[in-house]
Amino acid sequence: MSRPVGRARRAFGSGDFRAKAAMCLLVLLLLFAAGCAKDGIIEDVSNVARLDDVPVKTVVVWHTYSDEENRIFEETVIPAFERANPGIRIEAVRQSSNQEYQAALIARASANKTPDVVRLDYAWIPRFASHGLLEPLDGYPGYAEVAAKTGDRLLELNRIGNRTYGLPLNMNTKAAIYNRALLEASGQKQPPDSLRTLVDVARERHWILGMSGLEMWQSLPYFFALGGKLSDPSFARTDGYLNGEDSVRAAETMASLFREGVLNPNLLNGAGDLWTEIYEGRKVLMMDEGPWYYSILLNVANPKADLTRLTVAAPFPSDGANGPIVGGESLVMTRGAAYKAEAWTFIRWMMRPETQTEMFGAGLIPTNADALAAAKAGGASTTYMDAFLKGIEHAYYRPPLPRWNEIDKRYEEAMEDIFLGTRDVRDILNEASAAIDRVLAEPRGASSGAGTP
């Protein structure tokens, strides 16, 4: 029993055996390492730095694009941007545009949380900027070049004090959309330029004009067209304008037309479906709506109707007064954005004429002068978009006021009282004017929390 042990000891002590053992051990270690790599000891290889890697920074973008707008944005615009900027990834988050969305944005921006870039309604920018939640953009490289291609009136909507907090990305307004069969039956060869003419036709035929609500966005075009005035040119006061004689007559006329059934009888109860009734029914002669009416309904999987055949779009009949409100969205950067340079790179990309031309395919009117000129020259005159492009030329620009929502709400409440008919119109407008002027008397500037880039 001792010999085998002795032989083993002698063999183990020999140099030849030690060399072979070391070689075997090395082979085993290499095989073990290869097996471990194959089995994924490193769980996410993509996170392991390589010599040829480009560090990727993620910019979170919140937006409220519709289905068709979102399709172009996510399938065309973002991939093109990421190919051109391999170090930047865009995380797009689609939201619903409402007061809850605005509240969520304010809460997150106050806590320096994402999003980094927001597509924000023009009317919301003053409120966000006044609370110091937005990054001024006018000090970033290339700003002057981008701004030079954007209309001054649009830029003004993004200025608070002496700083600019957003770049207008797209604009819109409302147009008049007619039931083609009723328009032709009325004997009108073209949509009328005067709302009063349209009222006479509707009254004579017992047809309906589809005003959809009492907010400024919905009712102000009718108020203006009938002679109403909202404020002085600089929007410093409404006294003598909103409660002036012309405005009293305009409001009384609107209320009278509502009681006659000429203005949408369902204004106060929210019933009815103007989007369908304008092409399917035989009562609604005209409604007013934005370009999304067509871009949404024409791009559903199975369109219910040929809207280009059954309807006619034309600029709202304003009688030479202010037309519908200019709406739209700007791109803003939140003060807590993690990667400000990269966020700015994306904002500049969205302002390019090529990008805005892509989005025009979904009915978004460009703000870049070159893209807008191309849209007008590129066959828009043969499509529904022509009505909106022409309507922009006479549209009403809201002033950049942090408390615009309060002003809009006070106007809407006054209109509701007027349409209910329970009090004197002049008294209602006097009260509304006084309330709005108290808001206007307060300072307009942004808070001092807004710094330089």
Q: What is the DSSP string of 113-148?
A: PSPSEEEEEGGGHHHHHHTT-B---TTSTTHHHHHH
Residue 22 is assigned to a structural domain of this protein: no
For residue 189, the model assigns a pLDDT of 84
Q: How far apart are CA 132 and CA 239, in angstroms?
A: 31
Residue 398 is assigned to a structural domain of this protein: no
Whether residue 382 is found in the same domain as residue 407 = no
* Exposure class string for 10-40: b at 16+ Cβ within 10 A, else e: eeeeeeeeeeeeeeeeeeeeeeeeeeeeeee
- What is the residue type of 363? G
Whether residue 136 is found in the same domain as residue 94 = yes
Distance of CA 73 to the CA centre of its chain: 13
Whether residue 93 is found in the same domain as residue 219 = no
For residue 153, the model assigns a pLDDT of 92
Contacts of 391 (CB under 8 A, 6+ apart): 173, 174, 175, 315, 316, 323, 324
Whether residue 234 is found in the same domain as residue 120 = no
- Report how far apart, in Å, the C-alpha atoms of 365 and of each of 146, 156, 158, 172, 353 are: 17, 18, 17, 6, 11
Residue 208 is assigned to a structural domain of this protein: yes
Question: Are the beta carbons of 323 and 396 closer than 8 angstroms?
Answer: yes
Residue 281 is assigned to a structural domain of this protein: yes
Q: How far apart are CA 34 and CA 345, in angstroms?
A: 43
pLDDT at 10 over 90: no
Place of tokens 């807004």: 450
What's the average model confidence in pLDDT over 277-291?
95
Task: Report the range out of 302-311, 393-402, 415-424 with the highest average pLDDT.
Answer: 415-424
Whether residue 143 is found in the same domain as residue 281 = no
Q: What is the CATH number of the domain that holds 85?
A: 3.40.190.10
Q: How far apart are CA 277 and CA 288, in angstroms?
A: 13
Q: Which of 366, 392, 418 is the last residue of a domain?
A: 392
Whether residue 337 is found in the same domain as residue 379 = yes
Whether residue 230 is found in the same domain as residue 165 = no
For residue 53, the model assigns a pLDDT of 61
Instruction: Please give the tally of structural domains in the chain.
Output: 2
Whether residue 166 is found in the same domain as residue 240 = no
Q: How far apart are CA 273 and CA 288, in angstroms?
A: 13
Whether residue 107 is found in the same domain as residue 139 = yes
pLDDT at 65 over 50: yes
Q: What residue numbers bound the domain in which 368 lies?
A: 57-172+327-392
For residue 55, the model assigns a pLDDT of 84
Residue 361 is assigned to a structural domain of this protein: yes
